[in-house]
Structure 1
Amino acid sequence: MMPHISVLVAASESGIALDQSTALFPEDILPLTILFLAALFWMVLAVWAMRQRGHAASARQIAERANNFSAAIFKSAPVGYLLFDRVGSCKAGGNAQALLGLADICTRLEDLCPDDGMGGLTPEAMAALEAQLNTPAQTSRPIMLTTRDGHVLKLSRALDYVDPDRLDRLLFWLEDETEHLTQAKAREIALKADTVERQRLRAVIDAAPFPIWLRGENLDLVLVNQAYVRAVEKTSAQEVISAQTEIVNNALTGSSRDSAARARDADEIVHERHFAVIGGERRALSLTDKPVGDLIAGYAVDVTEAEEKRAELARVIDGHAETLNSLSSPVAIFDADQKLQFFNSAFSRLFRLSDDWLMDRPDHASLLEAMREKRRLPEQADFRAWRTEQLDLHHNPDSVEELWHLPDGSTLRMVGQPHPLGGLLLLFEDVTDKLALESSYNALIAVQRETLNNLHEAVAVFGSDGRLKLFNPTYADIWSLDADILISEPHFGDILDLTRDVLYQAAIGPPCANVSWGK
């Protein structure tokens, strides 16, 4: 059929007469051709319309999904909106219903504050909202509204909102500020507490009787107390910080700033002693600087009196040392660390030790070893145990006295006692001659006693104090006296009282009563 149509069209364009075409085609072909073309046109149109309808449906579905997605996101967000018109209607959108704590849908302004008291705004917040509705857009500012369940909502007018329906409606955004306000209040409380703590700390620092300061990383003063201000003779802490006035600034010994620099570089506490003129007087100051993070804290303590006492004590110690050095008795003093702190020349001579070695301040244990090598200690079966006993004297609060019998036959009397300044004081005395003399005396007394005991005559010897010193058995027998009483060295008067009965019986008969010879 298509070839016939082509021929017909070509014949028409070339001007061939209609009767010629009728001669070429049958007369019933033309209506069928027109009907076919019309059907084809409507089929194409129907297909196009169906495709357009499908595209439109797909577009609507995409738009609906996007709209639902946006609505779900908007509803899950902690914000909502309120849309008001001039006739009092209200629409709560987004998450506004949940933020307000409303169970029913809000359609009117009054629904924001239900009469049953269940959810919604407080009456005060409702009044603030109504005032906001009557406020011009140019002067409208965000306000805070409190709900009945305790939440705080921020109400902000959407100034750029254009009503598409031209109904003069107002759009307000609602945001839950409860957590933010709680955090802000907590920060405010913490800040206030921190401020109070700082004020208290500053009051304590200013109340300190000694200078305190704080330096920055560049060693500049950033804080000083009132004692510092008084020490440098300024009027205020700000004046000190502005002028960067140092409490110690000595061209020879350095400044307090130099001390802080050493503490910063070493990253450790630095203690130094300096002299400064304070109040017109030369004072000794003990400076302490300690790194604290990026800052350096420091303080100064007036140790002038302590320095004077220390110097006085040093003079006293030197005087005592000179006195002890002039003594003939050997003396040794150990400090709290058991090191030899002092010895006199008599000590080095007695134990045959070098002064140079003793000046090196050996400890007590080493000194005992050296004395042992010189055979100037008693012979001991267990020297280690004996040495431990000697070292334990450093911890003994009482005085201890011992006799040392040396290998050469000499005897030393050792007295150990705690030193008043800490440590141990040892005093030595050569008692060899004294013991020999005492031994000779005791032997002589023993000979004399033996001689008296063999005499038939009664003999009694009284000392200058009137007490009986010697007697023989005959004396006790004649006077009927108990030997144990006589050994206790009774007084001469006591002897007369004990012998008066014998005297009176021998001289005048019966004993006299109520007579005492006294002492």
Structure 2
Amino acid sequence: MVQIVALQPVLFALIVGVLITCVAACILFRRRSANRKRSSEPLFLIRNGFVIDSSDIGTRLLQLGGVQGAKGWADVREVLANLIPDLPVTLPSETRTFASTRVDALALRIVPNRRGHRISLTGLDKDNGQRLLLELSQSKLAFLMRVTDAVSMPIWKTDQDGTVNWCNKHFQSLVERSGDEQPFDVPSGKNTIQSSRRYRLFSNASQADEWYEVHSRELDSGNIFFAQEISALMRAEDAQRNFVQTLAKTFAYLPTGIAIFDRKSQLVLFNPALLDLTELSAEFLSNRPTITTFFDQLRELRIMPEPKRYVDWRQNLERLISDAQKDRFRETWTLPGGLTYRITGRPHPDGAVAFLLEDISAEVSLTRKFRAELEMTQAVMDADADGLIVFDNAGRTVFSNLSYRQLWNLDPDGGLEALTVLDVVKALRKKCDPTPFWSDLRDFTASFDSRAEWDCELTGRRFGRLIATVTPLSAGATVVRFRQDARRVLIAGPNDNSLEQA
């Protein structure tokens, strides 16, 4: 009994030791099991070349790689290319493992199955995971650096004090060309302008000015700036400005009134002649009226014909604007005061339209006077009993009187085209007895040598006896007079050898 009691502490200690050993073995087994589970981390399930499912780690890997939208094996391969460069272009048909060249003990395992391909990382522990994320972050940073260097504009970042702490290669090149470490005098610190500013720099390399438009964005640690070269744009704007100034100076001396409206139908340019012709005030035109308001004001001032009905006038005005945009508008306005204006609409690029207003009162008056003189001359010539016809230096008929048309029953103005001396000779020769007169007349009108007046006698059954007198006029023209008179002395023609007595 005493021995049994003495053995109890020893037995108790042995039992406790066995229990501790079992607990420790269980804990170790669980840790190893957990390590084995973590050592093979599933990433993606790919079917028909596209990712149909991904774990949290797989999704984060793609996000670090900058993959957006639809994802496939090509995206996965591109993201892991720096870590595992031997990945195949197409997924293998059997289980393959590809070791990483950047992270020790890390490998990508591809297992094909009936659902597609299961892709997982093996050898992934806490240290390797941190190294993997670091490698991917550095890869993404290197990619972003390549992108910023590929952008054809200077980009740089400053801290709160305005010191440049990062830039791309184009900014470095700009610093070298300008000889200034901070070529742009941009503001620093918080509340930096978010809009844009234009800067002019002198380039030592090209010995010329370069213009840049700088845009800025505020960050937590400073500001980032983007500079876009606009030298060509500035030259174009200068050229346009000079051109507009030249046009304005030219328009100022033109007697024609000019009004140019933009595509919004607002007046953008006018010249002083428009004020003189329309009596519109400079204040009214400076307020940039619309086309409708412009013509309404002309109607109020009676600078354009008063419409009979206002509704018809508004419809006509809409047609006027449409025709001007199609280069089909031209009207003549006869005003009560005796003035006559001609207005023309011309289309311009980008939907603009220009109206030209000309005072043609003198031209119309001269035309009317000239027309009256022509009508008077025609009336006087028609009153002459002799038949008259005039040919120009090219042998075309330019004039004939009533007696000529009645005598020969031939109207030179009856056709669409003017008759020539050949047409007249061919028609009149049939109505006369044979005579060399017509051949001589044809040659005489075509001659540019010294010419003199001559006569010839014509006979015919219809008119009896005629005296044809051919007289040269200025500028190579010729007039032929046909007279039914029996007694006068004939002047020898170019082919006559003697004079004939009537």
Give the shorter-chain TM-score range.
Answer: 0.5 to 0.7
What CA distance in whole angstroms lies between the structure 2 residues aligned with 1:319 and 1:446? 46
What CA distance in whole angstroms lies between the structure 2 residues aligned with 1:259 and 1:305? 33
In the TM superposition, 1:119-518 aligns within 5 A as: 163-164=18-19, 171=26, 172-173=29-30, 174-175=33-34, 176-177=37-38, 180-182=41-43, 183=55, 184-185=57-58, 187-188=60-61, 190-192=63-65, 193=79, 199-213=142-156, 223-233=166-176, 246-249=182-185, 255=186, 257=188, 261-263=192-194, 270-279=195-204, 281-290=208-217, 298-380=225-307, 381-382=309-310, 383-392=313-322, 396-398=325-327, 400-419=329-348, 423-453=352-382, 455-463=384-392, 466-476=395-405, 478-479=407-408, 481=410, 488-502=417-431, 505-507=433-435
Q: Is the 8 A contact 1:333 1:340 kept in 2?
A: yes
Deviations 1:332-375 (A, max 9, x none): 23334333333222211111122344334333333323323322
What CA distance in whole angstroms lies between the structure 2 residues aligned with 1:166 and 1:178? 26
What CA distance in whole angstroms lies between the structure 2 residues aligned with 1:470 and 1:357? 53
Q: Aligned pair in 2 of structure 1 residues 295, 478: CA closer, same or farther (>3 Å)?
A: farther
**Secondary structure of 1:507's aligned partner:** coil
What CA distance in whole angstroms lies between the structure 1 residues aligned with 2:357 and 2:272? 13
Shift of 1:433: 2.8
Larger Rg belongs to: 1
User: 2:214 is matched by which residue type in structure 1?
Assistant: L
Q: Aligned pair in 2 of structure 1 residues 211, 497: CA closer, same or farther (>3 Å)?
A: farther
Deviations 1:255-280 (A, max 9, x none): 254897121xxxxxx12222234446
Shift of 1:459: 1.6
What CA distance in whole angstroms lies between the structure 1 residues aligned with 2:426 and 2:444? 6
What CA distance in whole angstroms lies between the structure 2 residues aligned with 1:397 and 1:212? 47
What CA distance in whole angstroms lies between the structure 2 residues aligned with 1:366 and 1:271? 37
Shift of 1:248: 0.8
Query: Could you say which residue in structure 1 is the equivalent of 2:457?
Result: none
Q: Is the 8 A contact 2:382 2:403 kept in 1?
A: yes
Structure 1 unaligned segments of length 5 or more: list them. 1-160, 235-242, 250-254, 264-269
Shift of 1:460: 1.5
Q: Aligned pair in 2 of structure 1 residues 260, 401: CA closer, same or farther (>3 Å)?
A: farther
What CA distance in whole angstroms lies between the structure 2 residues aligned with 1:285 and 1:169? 72
Q: Is the 8 A contact 1:412 1:428 kept in 2?
A: yes
Q: Aligned pair in 2 of structure 1 residues 486, 388: CA closer, same or farther (>3 Å)?
A: closer
User: 1:375 is matched by which residue type in structure 2?
Assistant: R
Shift of 1:445: 2.8
Q: Is the 8 A contact 1:219 1:261 kept in 2?
A: no
What CA distance in whole angstroms lies between the structure 2 residues aligned with 1:448 and 1:341? 50
**Secondary structure of 2:192's aligned partner:** helix
Q: Aligned pair in 2 of structure 1 residues 319, 258: CA closer, same or farther (>3 Å)?
A: farther
Q: Aligned pair in 2 of structure 1 residues 281, 482: CA closer, same or farther (>3 Å)?
A: closer
Shift of 1:216: 7.4
Deviations 1:446-481 (A, max 9, x none): 344345445543221334554222223543454464
What CA distance in whole angstroms lies between the structure 2 residues aligned with 1:337 and 1:222? 48
What CA distance in whole angstroms lies between the structure 2 residues aligned with 1:206 and 1:169? 58
**Secondary structure of 1:358's aligned partner:** helix
Q: Aligned pair in 2 of structure 1 residues 502, 256: CA closer, same or farther (>3 Å)?
A: farther
Query: Could you say which residue in structure 2 is the equivalent of 1:36?
Result: none
Q: Aligned pair in 2 of structure 1 residues 440, 362: CA closer, same or farther (>3 Å)?
A: same
What CA distance in whole angstroms lies between the structure 1 residues aligned with 2:232 and 2:315? 46
Q: TM-score, normalised by structure 1?
A: 0.53
Shift of 1:314: 1.9
User: 1:462 is matched by which residue type in structure 2?
Assistant: F
User: 2:317 is matched by which residue type in structure 1?
Assistant: R
**Secondary structure of 2:315's aligned partner:** helix
Matched-pair identity in %: 20
Deviations 1:277-327 (A, max 9, x none): 444654222122356899865421222333233223322322221122112
Shift of 1:401: 1.6
Shift of 1:206: 1.0
Shift of 1:385: 2.4
Q: Is the 8 A contact 1:260 1:289 kept in 2?
A: no
What CA distance in whole angstroms lies between the structure 1 residues aligned with 2:251 and 2:189? 44
CA RMSD of aligned residues (A): 4.3
What CA distance in whole angstroms lies between the structure 2 residues aligned with 1:258 and 1:400? 60
User: 1:414 is matched by which residue type in structure 2?
Assistant: I
User: 1:262 is matched by which residue type in structure 2?
Assistant: I
What CA distance in whole angstroms lies between the structure 2 residues aligned with 1:277 and 1:366? 49
User: Bigger CA drift: 450-459 or 349-358?
Assistant: 450-459
Deviations 1:380-425 (A, max 9, x none): 122322333344466x142532112224342100112124686322
Q: Aligned pair in 2 of structure 1 residues 506, 215: CA closer, same or farther (>3 Å)?
A: same
Deviations 1:232-255 (A, max 9, x none): 239xxxxxxxx9x54411xxxxx2
What CA distance in whole angstroms lies between the structure 1 residues aligned with 2:21 and 2:245? 108
Structure 2 unaligned segments of length 5 or more: list them. 1-15, 44-54, 66-78, 80-135, 447-502
Q: Aligned pair in 2 of structure 1 residues 201, 336: CA closer, same or farther (>3 Å)?
A: farther
What CA distance in whole angstroms lies between the structure 2 residues aligned with 1:168 and 1:412? 114
User: 1:429 is matched by which residue type in structure 2?
Assistant: E
Q: Aligned pair in 2 of structure 1 residues 476, 179: CA closer, same or farther (>3 Å)?
A: farther
**Secondary structure of 1:387's aligned partner:** helix
Q: Aligned pair in 2 of structure 1 residues 389, 399: CA closer, same or farther (>3 Å)?
A: closer
Query: Could you say which residue in structure 2 is the equivalent of 1:74?
Result: none
Bigger strand share: 2
Query: Could you say which residue in structure 1 is the equivalent of 2:461?
Result: none
